[in-house]
Amino acid sequence: GAESWRDAGVIPIAATRLYIDPESPKNSRTIYAIGNRSVAVRENGAWRENPGPLPKGSFSGTSAGFPSDGGKPVIYAVSGANLFVSEDGGASWRSSSVAGLDAARYETIATSLNHPGVAYVSVSRATAGGVSVFGVAKTTNRGASWDFIRRETSDTPGAGMHDAWLTRRFGPGWGESPLGLGVAPNDPDIVYSTDYGRTMRSTDGGSNWTAVYSKEVEGGGYTTRGLDVTTNYGIHFDPFDAKRIFISYTDIGLFHSEDGGRSWFSSTTNGVPRRWVNTTYWLEFDPEVKGRMWAAMSGNHDLPRPKMWRTQNPDNYVGGVVRSDDGGKTWTRTTNGMGETAATHILLDPTSPKGSRVLYVTGFGRGVFKSTDGGETWTLKNNGLPAHQPFAWRLIRDRNGVLYLVIARRSENGGFGNAEDGFLYRSDNGAEHWTKIELPVGVNGPNGLAVDSANPRRLYLAVWGRRATDRAVDGGIFLSNDAGASWRNVLSKDQHVYDITIDPRNANILYACGFESSAWKSADRGETWSRIPGYDFKWGHRVFPDPRNASKIYITTYGGSVWHGPAGGTDSYRSTPPSSRSPKTRR
């Protein structure tokens, strides 16, 4: 029962998988350790390494199983264009291939632990009859021959693919070939596959595959089946209809529900530029005009995470603003004067005339754009901001019209006090000029800000900690009672706080969330904080009080969909809307 352990010796290779021979003596088990290039065997208490089949490179996928009549395991391995089989526990190898495919590349492979004659291999790309294809091939004779049982193209699903919404919305090419395969140990006809979007199951040996990540509901929408790996930024409630909800997602764009979250539909099918569909960062409703809304969209996802700008110049980011006057059914691009930019936030001035709304947008790497005609035209308003690619991330407006701008940090090395710091700016004149607010020494990762609705001089700052030798420092939540002239730390237990939310029903109650498996609540205007029990997803984004139920909150996440549960916590939270995929840097 794993209560105690004893040393079984040092494995001579960097093992990625371990298999125990079930027929070996209980007091001296034979162990097969599969590494990146070879197989090590522990037999009679001693380890030996069998040479692998690769002159160079490493395996991208391996799997093994033991024949029912005893003997050494059958091992399968793939590496690029190579497909290998060993029938003697890795002592010798032979090459295999899928007939009828040219220039085939293999991603991963899986066999049944107790039926190793059957195996499935992911074909990441190949050519068949001049057509580029991907999918799954199967052997029933230890790799002597293979059948291409699941053939897909970027636009055409396989004949036996019974997917939920993702293939219908984006096509098979969005999910691509399986990244993972799993075969039942006692029934080789049961096999699962996962890719960049779909989790599929076959119970008939791969002839038919059914989605297990999501399902269609009555009325044509979709909902989760509990396997949720989407990234989202906000959950947005239509001010004219409490049952109309939007979720701004990475990779799958904007989704909406007309029935309070029971079913979900894609909202980017009509009018959104194709290159912008990937990510919706934020949504803003007109509080006085039913159906009118604006969305900040981009083809560049996961901002402000550093992985997005390490290798791509923000000058080349795409995106902008779209407007809808029919509740998101259709959209119109409104970027005159803005051009292409990764628009990460949009803010409406509620005091502006409803016929000529004042809007502000953050362009990541560009700065702040302002419109005084409802988004028809835009002007860059960077007076006072850093000249070189300001990572404009979030905007906040207090009740008096003062604007605050969060500029995300560029540096990753833990240093501070330089041009790569993140910054907090303030404008008292509608973004015509910006003034930098000094942050405490060492604090250079502002990520979110909230302003007290009763006292606009009271600011709550969410901060991402800096890298130190063995931990993060100078992160958490900081409080100012003088509009940023001075600050004090009020939460340091969580060094990676993503954002802070003030409960619109009660300004004494605040929520916060971040990347340390926790969400936080304060009942005394941010003076003290307690962890919300029950929520434990590692990467949290924002907390949203449920407008239909004062005792509940929603939490958006990086890779865990949207969570919904009691504001005071519980033994368990549950994830809600349309399930899809794992975070991925897409082209």
Residue labelled with tokens 């060094």: 495
Residue labelled with tokens 């089946």: 225
Q: What is the mean pLDDT of each run of 10 residues along the chain (587 residues)?
A: 84 96 94 96 94 94 96 97 98 97 98 98 96 98 98 96 96 96 98 96 98 94 91 97 96 96 97 98 98 98 92 95 97 97 98 97 98 98 97 98 98 92 98 97 97 97 94 97 98 97 97 96 98 95 97 96 93 60 34
What is the rounded CA–CA span in Å between residue 499 and residue 406? 11
Both 193 and 307 in one domain: the answer is no
Among the listed residues 317, 324, 253, 260, the one whose alpha carbon sits nearest the alpha carbon of residue 290: 324
Q: Is residue 185 part of a domain?
A: yes
Query: 483 with 475: CB under 8 angstroms?
Result: no
Q: Is residue 538 part of a domain?
A: no
Both 158 and 291 in one domain: the answer is no
pLDDT value for 195: 96
The domain of 185 spans 15-215
Query: What six digits make up the tokens of 294?
Result: 């604006």
pLDDT value for 469: 86
> Which among 390, 412, 437 is the end of a domain?
437
Residue type, 502: I
Among the listed residues 106, 107, 69, the one whose alpha carbon sits nearest the alpha carbon of residue 87: 69
Taking the C-alpha atoms of 308, 310, 315 and 317 in order, what is their torsion angle to the nearest 10 degrees?
-20
Both 210 and 295 in one domain: the answer is no
Residue labelled with tokens 């039913």: 290
Query: What is the maximum span of the chain, computed from C-alpha positions, in angstroms?
Result: 83
Q: In terms of C-beta density within 10 A (0-12 exposed, 13-18 middle, 19 or more buried), how is residue 67 classed?
A: middle
Residues 6+ apart with CB under 8 A from 244: 237, 238, 256, 257, 258, 327
Q: What is the DSSP letter of 246?
A: E
Q: In terms of C-beta density within 10 A (0-12 exposed, 13-18 middle, 19 or more buried), how is residue 520 classed?
A: buried
Both 183 and 301 in one domain: the answer is no
Query: What six digits make up the tokens of 51?
Result: 């040479």
Query: 23 with 16: CB under 8 angstroms?
Result: no
> Which among 422, 437, 452 is the end of a domain?
437
HSE-up (13 A, CA, CB side) for residue 8: 18
Both 198 and 288 in one domain: the answer is no
User: Pairing mode, if any, of strands 161-162 and 209-211?
Assistant: parallel
Distances from the Cα of 485 to the Cα of 424, 430, 488, 508, 531, angstroms: 12, 20, 11, 22, 28
Q: What is the tally of structural domains in the chain?
A: 2
Q: Is residue 73 part of a domain?
A: yes
Both 155 and 27 in one domain: the answer is yes
A 10 A CB-CB count for 398 gives 18
Question: What is the per-residue DSSP string for 429-449?
Answer: STTSS-EEEPPPTT---EEEE
Question: What is the per-residue DSSP string for 535-568?
Answer: ---SSEEEEEE-TT-TTEEEEEEBSS-EEEEETT
Both 211 and 273 in one domain: the answer is no
pLDDT value for 572: 65
Query: What six digits make up the tokens of 542?
Result: 């924002």
b (16+ CB within 10 A) / e for 143-162: beebebbbbbbeeebbebbe
Both 210 and 318 in one domain: the answer is no
Does residue 386 have a cis peptide bond before it, meaning omega lies within 30 degrees of 0?
Answer: no
Both 84 and 191 in one domain: the answer is yes
Query: What six digits make up the tokens of 169?
Result: 């919305």
Both 143 and 276 in one domain: the answer is no
Among the listed residues 514, 426, 524, the one whose alpha carbon sits nearest the alpha carbon of residue 475: 514
Among the listed residues 250, 160, 176, 242, the one whose alpha carbon sits nearest the alpha carbon of residue 209: 160
Taking the C-alpha atoms of 558, 563, 566 and 568 in order, what is their torsion angle to the nearest 10 degrees?
-10
CATH code of the domain in which 379 resides: 2.130.10.10
Residue type, 402: V
Q: Is residue 450 part of a domain?
A: no
Both 284 and 410 in one domain: the answer is yes
CA-derived radius of gyration, the chain: 27
Q: Is residue 10 part of a domain?
A: no
Q: Is residue 339 part of a domain?
A: yes
Secondary structure element (H or E) that encloses residue 455, with its range: none
> Which among 437, 461, 487 is the end of a domain?
437
**Considering the entire predicted model, what is its pTM?**
0.93
Query: What six digits make up the tokens of 164?
Result: 């939920």
Q: Is residue 341 part of a domain?
A: yes
Both 41 and 136 in one domain: the answer is yes
Q: Is residue 273 part of a domain?
A: yes
Residue type, 247: I
Neighbouring-strand partners of residue 246:
236, 256
What is the rounded CA–CA span in Å between residue 318 and residue 157? 29
Secondary structure element (H or E) that encloses residue 40, with its range: strand 39-43
Residue type, 467: R
